[in-house]
Chain A
Amino acid sequence: MTDLQPTPAASASPLEDAHRVFTQLTHRLRAAVVGRDEVIELVLVALLADGHVLLEDFPGSGKTTLARALGSAIEPGPSGAVEGIASFRRIQFTPDLLPSDITGTNVFDVDAGGFTFRRGPLFAHVVLADEINRTSPKVQSAMLEAMAEKQVTVDDATYGLDRLFFVIATQNPLDLAGTYPLPTPQLDRFLFKLVMEHIERDAELDVLASYPKPHLDQAAAHPGVSREAILAARMASRELVHLAPVFREALVDLARGLRADPRVLQGASTRSLVLAMPALQARALLRGRDYVAPEDLEALAPQIFRHRLELAPGVEDPLEVIGDALAPQLEILARASLKG
């Protein structure tokens, strides 16, 4: 995190504003969740790239804290909160959940003498979809429609979600009894699948040291950011961070390399490549750069592609497959930089 320097409160360019906003977010999340710097960065990349993340972890690893901290960091902007939109919602997915439980439903309003739509928990800036693999495919697909289209459909009526709709879904990698594992096409809708590991000893000690005052409260000391600032940052990231054409080639060739690999049954989709481009820009912006660098591809490619590959039987590690396909592209990019 060498690029995160304190930045002045007001800056000239939208790019610097965006960087400042996300630096604030980073500081706030780091204060709330100790020892998860890399996950925090990737979550923020996804937020900035308008994607969603799937966290694969075990209970008690801080995912709720992370999501809640993110939600609480998004403050009502100068124009006030969008009506009816919460900043954070948590949905605990269970087998008996119904789609209307998350999207909302039409209820009969006695006063008005007709049905009115009551918004479900999806109408929030940050939604934590806990244990998404525990619910029925019906609910999963309603969730995924919301994620992909940023809208929900209830009884032939379509309701738009907030533009800043960001899902952090979790699933438990070990306890698979009675679950409905997400099929690969549905996983495709998540920008990243982040596999979390136990935090290091010092960080864990740090978590305990904060007792009795939770870290989340300490985070409140850091300033939050407004919804508008995040939306402006998204805009700046897409339009002002330079994505050299050679990266598009690298992405396509990387996907082709993955598809050609005999260890891969089904390779990465074209959609994943489309999603990858804003992700690369977002990471560059987060790192304080105005251009996408090969290191962005190097860092993000495993996260982007690991859950999108159907591997041949007997092949365990998608990261090894991705690494093999990535190396020639990194080599090409590295050589491209020395060419006149």
Chain B
Amino acid sequence: MSAVAPVGAPAREREPTVAVVSRLLVHALGAAIFAAPLVRGEATALAALGAALGAGLAPRFARGPWRTGGLVTLGVALLALGFLGRFLFVDTAIAARGLGPAAALRTGDGWLFAFGAAGVSFALRSLSARRRSLAALEVVAVAAAFMQLVVAHRHGAINRPFEIADPIIAAGGDPTHVFYAVGALAALAVVLLLLAERSVWRSLLHLAAVLLVLGLVFGLTDALDPPAPPVAGAGLGLRPGEGEPQEGEGGQGNQRGQGGEQRPDENLEFQDDLDTSQSQVPVAVVLFHSDYSSPTGVYYFRQGAFSQYNGRRMVGATGGLDRDLGDAFPSRTYTVPDPPLLNQNRTSVETTVALLTEHNRPFGLEAPVRFAPARNPDPRRFDRLYRVESAVLTSDFFSMIGARAGAKDWGPEEWTHYTEGPEDPRYAALAQRILDEKLPDYLRGDPAAQVAAVTSWLAEQGTYSLRSRHADADDPTADFLFGDVTGYCVHFAHAGAYLLRSLGLPARVATGYAVDEAQRAGGSALLISGETSHAWPEVRIEGFGWVVADISPQNVISPPPAPSDQDLQRLLGELARGLEAMPIEPETPLVQQLERAFDWMKLSLLGLLWFLGLVLAALFGGKLWRRLAPRFADPAAQPRVAYRADLDRLSDVGIRRRRGESRESFAARVAEALPALVPLTRAHVGAAFGSRRRPDLGSHRSELRQQLRQAVPLWRRLLGAIDPFSWLLTR
């Protein structure tokens, strides 16, 4: 520069507006996402606003003379101000007196989240503005905000946090998509923050930090995490268990017509540890079409019956017996082959069953008569729906006194089948002893009284426990009955059936679900969860049909089942009807929420990883396309496309035009190392701005590559080759 003064220094390094705005957006989004499951809408909006304000103000302060520690303290002070405000509004009576408790609570929440978000965003932004490496904190905080949202949906929890998933379900949508969207949004937010860093290496560093934090969280979760709740009911053969072939008529409704000939290979096996029955996983919702109250106080839903004695236990009968069961899901209305009689003892009750999980066969209230298909209002939520008309018993055992056992049309074959039991004489002896003990002389011959005596004796003597030691015995039932009388429903059902059979009464073991009537809580929907799967003895009484003779042991070792979730029951009931649910408030322990949410979080992370993978693939695709474009472009576009490919090559190794620098100045700046760029630039600019000359570029391009190889070390070129962002930074 000898004679002419240089052009003024290049414009000050100002952060691009796009970066500033996207930072604000991401902060607002993060705060909103964090607040959404915790507070109401207006507090969420305030949180977003506060975060945007805090993040917007921070850089101004960061440019000022204040110490970094002071800025962080200011942020923390804002947070404290938020908590103080909430304390004043919510925990003291002052505001509640003036505003009313609800408004005070809302104001307090809004205050806390507005100031809290502002403080946190302010502190994070000023830190990252002061020290670029601390921007990792910012990125991690945003990632964590998204994480805590999906955390609550672990283990597929659907009604907590209520605000996120349930409206989607109620509207007939699939919440999974929402979570994918949230995952994608999170990825977008993080990517935006990363891109706002104008150094790719710093961005990659931050990305690594985020992945490390997420990995740590998931690793720790996996290490400390109790196993996911097992699927209950499989032990009783009600549902296809894991690993079992799901064949037979289980899933398909169109195999009807083969009658009762083809029994499913159901397995009512004795187990020493039935650890699956504590599951609260909902398996079905039953809608009552009429108000029906069971005389026993328990709703029995029969799915299967086991009446064939195989020398060790009861198995499903073949050969046209037990034909009062529904053996396939209905594709059209059908009546069971041997329906219970609708007489003065039984009345018709209609129900709709909405299965939430797959089942082997349909079940219905007590004694199903007819099955009919029903429209599934939400195939993603419900496995299937069907209607059942049941003939339910309206009388108790006392009204059966005097009735005979069996059925009028039974021949010797049936009698033999239903009274065959173990040859062990102890059963008959015990049964006789029970009758002697329990019944007065004039009732000892009465079937109904005998049944009542046996079941009440078992209930008094037996102890209900999910842990027992009978499965290895030759006759587990005898081991149970003549041993410690400790077992679970399958033991009791078998013991009851054998005792009744030894008395000459036709008995069998039925399986299905038994739900306490109280759980209906006056509504018309009844939620059946896996833990209510049950087995019970049944006895055939003339004029009454198969009668449930359940045994409720008085001693219970196993913990009582948790109370069911009334909100969930109502929600699912409404959904099964095809209605939208009324909003309800979640009341589930935090621990449970967290547990379930982690599953969703994993899903979201998977989605996020997929998304990131897709983003990476798109980035590399774009890079590759731009690199190869000169081979395919037509000659007119050649100077532009080829030059772009060359610039990408330079960008790979960090050689880029500065903002506001003309292409020619850029070429002149790097001309020392890369002289071939000068003619390439001239040709490119000429073509772009209307030159009529078309210089040949081929040799210059290969020269440029050569010069690049000489000027840039190999490792730097390799790093550049795997950099997915470099081509986006090409100017």
Instruction: Tell me the A residues contacting B by CB distance below 8 Å.
Output: 2, 35-39, 42, 194-197, 199-200, 203, 242-244, 246-247, 289-295, 297-298, 301-303, 317, 319-324, 326-328, 330-331, 333-338, 340
> Mask for B620-652, Cβ within 8 A of A = 1, else 0?
000000000000000001001001100100000
The interface size bin for chain B is 35 or more
Chain A residues with Cβ below 8 Å from B659 are: 327, 331
Question: A303 and B4 in contact (CB under 8 A), knowing A289-B686, A290-B693?
Answer: yes
A334 and B689 form a contact (CB under 8 A): no
Chain B residues with Cβ below 8 Å from A195 are: 4-5
A295 and B665 form a contact (CB under 8 A): yes
Instruction: Tell me the B residues contacting A by CB distance below 8 Å.
Output: 2-11, 637, 640, 643-644, 647, 657, 659-665, 678, 682, 684-686, 688-693, 731
From A242, A246, A327, B691 is in contact (CB under 8 Å) with A242
A330 and B4 form a contact (CB under 8 A): no
Task: Kindly list 5 other residue pairs between chains A and B, CB separation below 8 angstroms, not including A290-B692, A294-B663.
Answer: A39-B4, A291-B689, A293-B662, A295-B664, A327-B10
In the complex formed, the residue of A with least CB distance to B730 is A338
A338 and B2 form a contact (CB under 8 A): no
A37 and B7 form a contact (CB under 8 A): no
Chain B residues with Cβ below 8 Å from A293 are: 662, 664, 682, 685-686, 689
In the complex the two chains form, what is the Cα distance from A45 to B640 in whole Å? 29
A298 and B662 form a contact (CB under 8 A): yes
- Can you offer 5 A-B residue contacts whose CB atoms are under 8 A? A38-B4, A292-B689, A293-B686, A302-B8, A324-B11
Closest-CB distance, B532 to chain A (whole angstroms): 67
Closest-CB distance, B637 to chain A (whole angstroms): 6
Question: A291 and B690 in contact (CB under 8 A), knowing A197-B2, A323-B7, A340-B637?
Answer: yes
In the complex formed, the residue of A with least CB distance to B686 is A291
Which label, helix, strand, loop or mixed, suits the secondary structure of the A interface?
helix
In the complex the two chains form, what is the Cα distance from A200 to B4 in whole Å? 12
Of listed A38, A199, A291, residue having the most chain B CB within 10 A: A291
Chain A residues with Cβ below 8 Å from B693 are: 290
Closest-CB distance, A276 to chain B (whole angstroms): 15
Question: A38 and B2 in contact (CB under 8 A), knowing A290-B693, A334-B663, A340-B637?
Answer: yes
Which label, helix, strand, loop or mixed, suits the secondary structure of the B interface?
loop
A38 and B3 form a contact (CB under 8 A): yes
In the complex formed, the residue of A with least CB distance to B679 is A2
From A194, A320, A330, B662 is in contact (CB under 8 Å) with A330
A36 and B689 form a contact (CB under 8 A): no
A337 and B684 form a contact (CB under 8 A): yes
From A291, A295, A323, A334, B731 is in contact (CB under 8 Å) with A334
A338 and B640 form a contact (CB under 8 A): yes
Chain A residues with Cβ below 8 Å from B3 are: 35-39, 194, 196-197, 199
Of listed A35, A295, A301, residue having the most chain B CB within 10 A: A295
Chain B residues with Cβ below 8 Å from A194 are: 3-4
Top 4 A-B pairs, shortest CB-CB distance: A327-B660, A323-B8, A320-B8, A242-B690
Chain A residues with Cβ below 8 Å from B6 are: 319
Chain B residues with Cβ below 8 Å from A295 are: 662-665, 685
Question: A244 and B4 in contact (CB under 8 A), knowing A327-B659, A331-B659, A338-B640?
Answer: no
In the complex the two chains form, what is the Cα distance from A194 to B659 in whole Å? 27
Chain A residues with Cβ below 8 Å from B637 are: 340
B689 and A244 form a contact (CB under 8 A): yes
In the complex the two chains form, what is the Cα distance from A36 to B640 in whole Å? 36
In the complex the two chains form, what is the Cα distance from A319 to B5 in whole Å? 9
In the complex the two chains form, what is the Cα distance from A321 to B9 in whole Å? 9
A242 and B2 form a contact (CB under 8 A): no
Chain B residues with Cβ below 8 Å from A323 are: 7-11
In the complex the two chains form, what is the Cα distance from A281 to B662 in whole Å? 17
Closest-CB distance, A268 to chain B (whole angstroms): 15
A2 and B678 form a contact (CB under 8 A): yes
A200 and B2 form a contact (CB under 8 A): yes
Chain B residues with Cβ below 8 Å from A324 are: 8, 11
Chain A residues with Cβ below 8 Å from B685 are: 291, 293-295, 337
In the complex the two chains form, what is the Cα distance from A340 to B690 in whole Å? 13
Closest-CB distance, A190 to chain B (whole angstroms): 15
In the complex formed, the residue of B with least CB distance to A330 is B662
Chain A residues with Cβ below 8 Å from B682 are: 289, 293
Chain B residues with Cβ below 8 Å from A330 are: 660-662
A337 and B689 form a contact (CB under 8 A): yes
Chain A residues with Cβ below 8 Å from B4 are: 38-39, 42, 194-197, 303
Chain A residues with Cβ below 8 Å from B663 are: 294-295, 334, 337
From A38, A320, A333, A338, B9 is in contact (CB under 8 Å) with A320
Chain B residues with Cβ below 8 Å from A292 are: 689
In the complex the two chains form, what is the Cα distance from A246 to B11 in whole Å? 22
Closest-CB distance, B711 to chain A (whole angstroms): 20
